[in-house]
Structure 1
């Protein structure tokens, strides 16, 4: 039975055995397997604050055109929309020529609501959102408090449906239920699939004749669903669309910046393709089970090898292997020629990478191909989908590669970076501030205004890293005047000392490399 029969999806811990706690070598990780129970016990005796799944969920929903994002909870739960609005405006402007602000509202629960319940407040907010904005959709994002006090959010939505023109999409993002942010992607897909996949009335044919079935078969044979992630910008989306067009395919892009009125078309495609297995498996399974749409979910198309493998997998499914090989040969020859000036400069430089699991691992393999030595990797969670990328890393970086799995935990990162002293750091904005204060040249591992995906992304990243490493003075000078908030004795301890199953290890070590645990 599909999970979509339930009101909300299971957590990633329950569904995939995902975990957020590990520190040690790649060899040790591979030996313990990919299930949470086969790794460490999933907890730290000390843990710093992190984000919840509400933030990545809202970052997707805010991109939907003609949507009102109604956050049911305390007003601060939707505050991340302010920082995300620049991406919503720029992404909309690039795609449509008009900058559009994200429209988000809040039920702004107070102490009285917590005591008495807030179902009527939510009901009135839905009606008010529909009256004021007349949107195509209203996404009701459920935060922690309504779930704790027992608000029947889905019941309220059913009561409101007959009284509004918009389609209402419940998205359960209660942060206390999981420590795996990737559950947010499941929550978003769960809500969108339940509310938007029904055929619109205007799409029903007047006569279902033989020509209709023939046209439908042709459309399926020449249409691919491309599932995008919120860390991809238009440049990346266009690059992947270019490859699929070269294989004679029309592309349905979903969910970021996708028209809600066209979501139903996903079930009429002949193939669904993932750009990030961490992000997409939940919806891909549903489309296959309910509508018979096969899918491919193996590689994130970052770097030469991964992009080529991604294209080959699709072409094999479509019977287009000849066209794919010609495309790959042409693109890789041009790219390798363009990278010749950079590879000697990068050779032997040590890089540390921090990001969501697939982006971190795929980027590590790209950087190895560019000539870098991989000093270490930290990813925000771990599940079985990444095994294929770890196998590549075993060949490229060796079994002694340091792996840290943590939902941020900057204290571990600061210890690792100060000990390992890499030549370059790639991470998220918050990670980069840690590296910069230690004087390490850094670069964001994604930016929706820049190219990272495909052959173009490999070249653009190499060009930016060349400039960064050729002029590292800013970070080095900054480190002379700022410091991180950790005491000196912390930097002398094992960076994984607070992982519970590591507490029996010595706290102090003096090696230049992180210890193999």
Structure 2
């Protein structure tokens, strides 16, 4: 279905039947999936989560020459202050220009809740267009407008003819969904509805044969390489290097992409995902609307995943022989470089916590480096990961599995019981492991390498340094304590998951 005909993207609970609640083992999860009885349960106690507004704003902050209008209470969007550093550095790496992101708020208050906030939004759009003259204005809707029924799209449509900037409404009402990965769909929804028209074609009367021939050429060898906060600039360069080696032209989309170049995504032979969690919504749209096929399987994180990713692309273009030659050359260098690291990692245990595909791909990667995987915590589950679970079971074996949108109390219980030698999680969620004295390493950073053959080596090198001297991490519990009673650690970590059965 072409969801872009709708006003806003559907929530993932409806579109993909996504799940954020499960506690048991990998084999137990597969049993439930096999019997069709995995339903998203409830927790009798829930501690901490994440609103889809936060990842959405972090991504929108990367769009150059854009101003964000946060249509919500004044506190919503305050996280944008911490996003600015990465937006500045990311833009500098890609464009050579150092530029701050700009955002304003309509600061809805109690009176607006009663009388409506559309007038404030209208004034804000006009004022932002006059003051900053940006190419695009992204209107991000928080919870309050969704509750009181402000017509965001109606207000935007009414102003389009009066405003120089392209207006992009993005619906991020946090109360509508528990699956904050819906944020990725919301952003792609706004881009797909508003930025796919070629500016050069808008007022053209006579067709440009040379331009048309150029695009026909590109459609034979160009690939859309999707990056919706799924890889760093270093990772972009690594995948571009590998694709260029297959004589393919690469169009990276949409982070840091100029709004006037967004339309170029329509002119490609193939779209390639680097994270199915992020990209499935838009890639399906490109196929339905413009006939562009896509590859949506796993992240190119780890040796075998990278090989499979390259081979899939090569098979589409009939370049299998070139792909095997490339893989053979890369592996001849990598295998030799990994020998000392694998000896060091052998026998050590690892626990991974991250977004679904990153968690599963990283578990595969550390297994390839010599670790024993003793636990994984994906933030959610949907149908696209089922093949990855099967692959992990066949290669890694069974292990405790906890599907949770944060819930640090469950994580603390699991880690205290399992006592891994290494915890890999996102930087903002490593604190639980740190306070338990477990060495930690971030599972993703916008300035570090994780993807492709280079990513394998760089992760190995960083983990070697981290685990060679873990004394700092080991000493933390003497000075910092978690807030849970000792009795909690004697309970099952999944005690508060309703209808949770022993899956072991």
Q: TM-score range by the shorter chain?
A: over 0.9
Q: Distance in 2 between matches of 1:269 and 1:295?
A: 10
Whole-angstrom CA distance in 2 between matches of 1:242 and 1:363: 22
User: Is contact 2:184-2:228 (8 Å) kept?
Assistant: no
Distance 1:258 1:216 in 2: 18
1:9 maps to 2:9: yes
Q: CA deviation digits over 1:211-248, x for unaligned, max 9?
A: 66543321101211010131421101111111111121
The residue number in structure 2 matching 1:29 is 29
Find the counterpart in structure 2 of residue 510 from structure 1. none
TM-score in terms of structure 1 length? 0.95
Match in the other structure for 1:435: 433
2:18–2:40 CA contact under 8 A, matched in 1:
no
After TM superposition, the structure 1 stretch with the greater mean CA deviation from structure 2, 25-34 or 108-117, is 25-34
Superposed, 1:93-172 pairs within 5 Å as 93-172=92-171
Q: Distance in 2 between matches of 1:257 and 1:215?
A: 24
| Distance of aligned partners of 1:236 and 1:34 in 2 relative to their CA distance in 1, 3 Å threshold | farther
Taking structure 2 as the reference length, the TM-score comes to 0.97
Please provide the CA RMSD for this pair: 1.6
Q: How far off its partner does 1:300 sit?
A: 0.4
Structural mapping, 1:81-480, within 5 Å: 81-201=80-200, 207-208=206-207, 214-398=213-397, 400-480=398-478
* d(CA) in 2 for partners of 1:38, 1:200: 49
| Aligned equivalent of 1:487 | 485
**In terms of mean alpha carbon deviation, does 254-263 or 185-194 score higher?**
254-263
Say if 2:302 and 2:451, in contact at 8 Å, map to a contact too. Answer: yes
Write out per-residue CA displacement over residues 454-498 of structure 1, whole angstroms, 9 at most, x where no aligned residue.
Answer: 111110000000011000000111111110011110000000000
Indicate how the Cα distance of structure 1 residues 92 and 210 shifts in structure 2: closer, same or farther if over 3 A, else same. closer
Q: Secondary structure at the match of 2:180?
A: coil
Partner of 1:496: 494
Q: Is the 8 A contact 1:349 1:423 kept in 2?
A: yes
User: Cα gap change, 1:447/1:213 in structure 2, threshold over 3 Å: closer, same or farther?
Assistant: closer
Moved more, 203-212 or 127-136: 203-212
8 A Cα contact 2:20 2:40, kept in partner: no
Assess, with a 3 A threshold, how the Cα gap between structure 1 residues 227 and 181 changes in structure 2: closer, same or farther. same
Report how far residue 190 of structure 1 moved.
0.2
Give yes or no for contact 1:347–1:371 (8 Å, CA) kept in 2: yes
- Tell me if structure 2 keeps the 8 A contact 1:41–1:500: no
- 8 Å CA contact 1:34–1:387 kept in 2: the answer is no
What is the Cα deviation at residue 206 of structure 1?
6.6
* Alpha-carbon contact 2:198-2:260 (below 8 Å) kept: no
Please state how far the C-alpha of 1:40 moved relative to its aligned partner: 4.3
The answer to which of 428-437 and 170-179 deviates more is 428-437
Distance 2:314 2:326 in 1: 11
Structure 2: distance between partners of 1:220 and 1:336: 36
Superposition deviation, residue 434 in structure 1: 0.6
Does the aligned pair in 2 maintain the 1:355–1:427 contact within 8 Å? yes
| C-alpha distance after superposition, 1:140-190 (max 9, x if no partner) | 011110010010000000111111100000000110110101100000000
**Separation in structure 2 between the aligned mates of residue 362 and residue 334 of structure 1, nearest angstrom:** 22
- Whole-Å separation in 2 of the counterparts to 1:203 and 1:325: 44
> SS at the partner of 1:10?
coil
Say which is worse superposed, 210-219 or 362-371, in terms of deviation.
210-219
**Structure 2 residue matching 1:51: 3-state secondary structure:** coil
Structure-2 separation of matches of 1:364 and 1:471: 22
Distance 1:160 1:208, change over 3 A: closer
For structure 1, the residue ranges without an aligned partner over 5 or more in a row are 506-514
User: Which residue matches 1:508?
Assistant: none
**In 2: Cα distance, 1:174 partner to 1:308 partner:** 39
Could you tell me how far 1:431 is from its partner in structure 2?
A: 2.4
Deviation at 1:203, TM superposition (A): 7.5
- DSSP 3-state at the match of 1:340: helix
- Between the aligned partners of 2:307 and 2:206, the Cα distance in structure 1 is 43
User: Distance between the aligned counterparts of 2:211 and 2:142, measured in 1?
Assistant: 44
Pick closer, same or farther for the CA change 1:41–1:310 going to 2, 3 Å: closer
Counterpart of 1:509 in structure 2 is none
Contact 1:34 1:382 in 2 (8 A): no
- Secondary structure class of the residue paired with 1:414: helix
Change (3 A) 1:209 1:160: closer
CA distance in structure 2 between the partners assigned to 1:341 and 1:54 by the alignment: 43
The separation in 1 between residues aligned to 2:215 and 2:415, in whole angstroms, is: 55
Alignment partners' CA distance in 1, 2:111 and 2:455: 51
Contact 2:70 2:142 in 1 (8 A): yes
Structure 2 CA distance for partners of 1:97 and 1:432, relative to 1, 3 Å: same
Equivalent position SS for 1:138: strand
SS in structure 1 opposite 2:75? helix
Q: 2:230, 2:274 within 8 Å by CA — same for their partners in 1?
A: no
